Amino acid sequence: MHEIRAKSILSPRGGINVYRGCTHGCVYCDSRSACYQMDHAFEDVAVKVNAPELLEDALRRRRRRCMVGTGSMCDPYLPLERETRLTRRCLEVIERQGFGVSVLTKSDLVLRDLDLLKRINQTAKAVVCTTFTFDEDLCRVLEPGVCTTRRRFEMLKACREAGIAACVWLCPILPFLNDTEENLRGVLGYCFDAGAEAMSTSAWASRCGRGTGSTFTPSWTGTSPA
Ligand code: SF4
């Protein structure tokens, strides 16, 4: 990892990424695409050390309240978040400024911040969203750096018990890998048992180009991503 000072943090649509890059190692990851013009190795995560200050300033100037979303380009609960606590500090800002938050994560570290999410949920709204591959063995291959499917199910359940909306993003559905009836029924069963309130999906983008088109296949066949 390396530290940087970002120039801005809040996108016009209310999205934030306190990290740039990711260490979860999902073999289908689209965020490592060359189209995002990352100037460092994807796994050498850039830590935006001034993210909380930038966010405080941006939310203060925002005229209308909205949901702040995080988790679209990297996971806000990477292992290094245990030390940096940047995501937590941004949640504190969001609470202070009276905004809502939507967190997309594949890590149970989000449960560390359940106290904050509960408070945000009381005044605005908090949503926690994750993804599932029902088959644990397949999950270990496709998403080697994230907590198990079972643990993510428990994570959603804990959120629901705390009164926080839990959602599942059924993505990516990979042809011949996790598009089986058994996997889809298994995911639906997890959603039902966890009390998930919503489920969505979208098309998976397999981009071609430097550092991208070759990401999926070599990883799947056991060699390192390009
Ligand atoms: S968690 Fe998201 S950003 Fe990180 S490797 Fe997986 S797909 Fe990519």
Interval 170-190: pLDDT, tens: 888 888 888 899 988 999 999
Nearest atom within ligand 1 for CA of residue 22: 4
Give the residues of the chain that fall short of pLDDT 50: 208-209, 213-214, 217-218, 223-226
For residue 103, what are its two tokens?
A: 């967190």
Contact present, 114 and 162 (Cβ < 8 Å): yes
Beta sheet of 19-20, edge-to-edge order: 2-4, 46-48, 19-20
Q: Which of 73, 106, 140, 207 to mutate to test the pocket of ligand 1 (most atoms within 8 A of CB)?
A: 106
What 3-state DSSP class applies to 30? Answer: coil
Whether the full predicted model's pTM is greater than 0.95, yes or no, is: no
Decide: 75 in ligand 1 pocket, CB within 6 A: yes
Domains, the chain, with CATH or none: 2-220 (3.20.20.70)
Residue 217 confidence (pLDDT): 47
Mean pLDDT of the chain: 88
Is 43 exposed, middle or buried (CB count within 10 Å of its CB: 0-12, 13-18, 19+)?
A: middle
Decide: 103 in ligand 1 pocket, CB within 6 A: no
Decide: 29 in ligand 1 pocket, CB within 6 A: yes
The CA-based dihedral angle spanning residues 172, 184, 191, 150, taken in that order and rounded to the nearest 10 degrees: -80
DSSP-derived secondary structure letter, 162: T
Residue 7 confidence (pLDDT): 96
Q: 61 CA distance to ligand 1 centroid (A)?
A: 31
Decide: 139 in ligand 1 pocket, CB within 6 A: no
Contact present, 10 and 28 (Cβ < 8 Å): no
Question: Residue 196 and residue 125: Cα distance in Å, rounded?
Answer: 16
Q: Which of 74, 81, 105 to mutate to test the pocket of ligand 1 (most atoms within 8 A of CB)?
A: 74
Decide: 106 in ligand 1 pocket, CB within 6 A: yes
Residue 223 confidence (pLDDT): 44
Decide: 27 in ligand 1 pocket, CB within 6 A: no
